[in-house]
Structure 1
Amino acid sequence: MQNHWIVDLTFEEDESRTTCTAQLSGFSAPGAQGTGMARRNPIDDSDSVIGEELAAARACHDLAHKLAGQAETGIESHTHNPAHLPL
């Protein structure tokens, strides 16, 4: 069996903040998304790439934790024992 999931990163930016949403898509991909935000210090030069990279990293981190939580729930439903999956 082969499966393929795609992580789609969407960004919203204003003068001091970048927000990213990481959304999974693909056949049988679980309905999960993560969000992350980066703020620019007012004394720093404006560089949208840095904000996007940090917001994307945080969104993917959030998505990873949500997926691990879903996996824990699935394990617990099969084993009827508490599960903890460290990341």
Structure 2
Amino acid sequence: MHAGQWRVEIFLSEEEDRTHAVARLHTAAGELTADGTARRNPADRDVPEIGDELAAARALSALAHRLLETVAEDIEGVTRRPVRLDS
């Protein structure tokens, strides 16, 4: 049986009408990082939580894609055959 724990951190910053998120995945094997950005239309109300949520969602989505790419590379390294993973 195998058990483990991975940790994801999300760092948020805001500048003018933009919110930026960095999602960082920590595993025993290393770390993966991805970014996401949200931009508020100047005509919209300023609701910081929405920008945070959208930027974080985009960063997590990008992180998931990076993880799938890493898995494909790892499988190819073991099997020595091309791999295509569908999300």
Same fold (TM over 0.5): yes
**Greater strand share, 1 or 2?**
2
Runs of 4+ in 1 over 6 A off after TM superposition: none
Alpha-carbon shift at residue 34 of structure 1 (Å):
1.0
Aligned counterpart, 2:54 = 54
* TM-aligned CA deviation for residue 79 of structure 1: 0.8
Find the aligned partners of 1:32 and 1:6 in 2 and give their Cα distance: 11
Cα distance in 1 between the residues matched to 2:9 and 2:61: 14
Q: Residue 39 of structure 1 corresponds to which residue in structure 2?
A: 39
Aligned-residue Cα RMSD (Å) equals: 1.0
Q: SS where residue 51 of structure 1 aligns?
A: helix
- Mark the runs of 5 or more structure 1 residues left unpaired by the alignment: none
Identity %: 40
Unaligned runs of 5+ in 2: none
Q: Distance in 1 between matches of 2:10 and 2:59?
A: 8
TM-score, structure 2 normalization:
0.93
1:62-81 to 2 correspondence within 5 Å?
A: 62-81=62-81
The TM-score normalised by the length of structure 1 is 0.93
Between Structure 1 and Structure 2, how many residues are aligned?
86
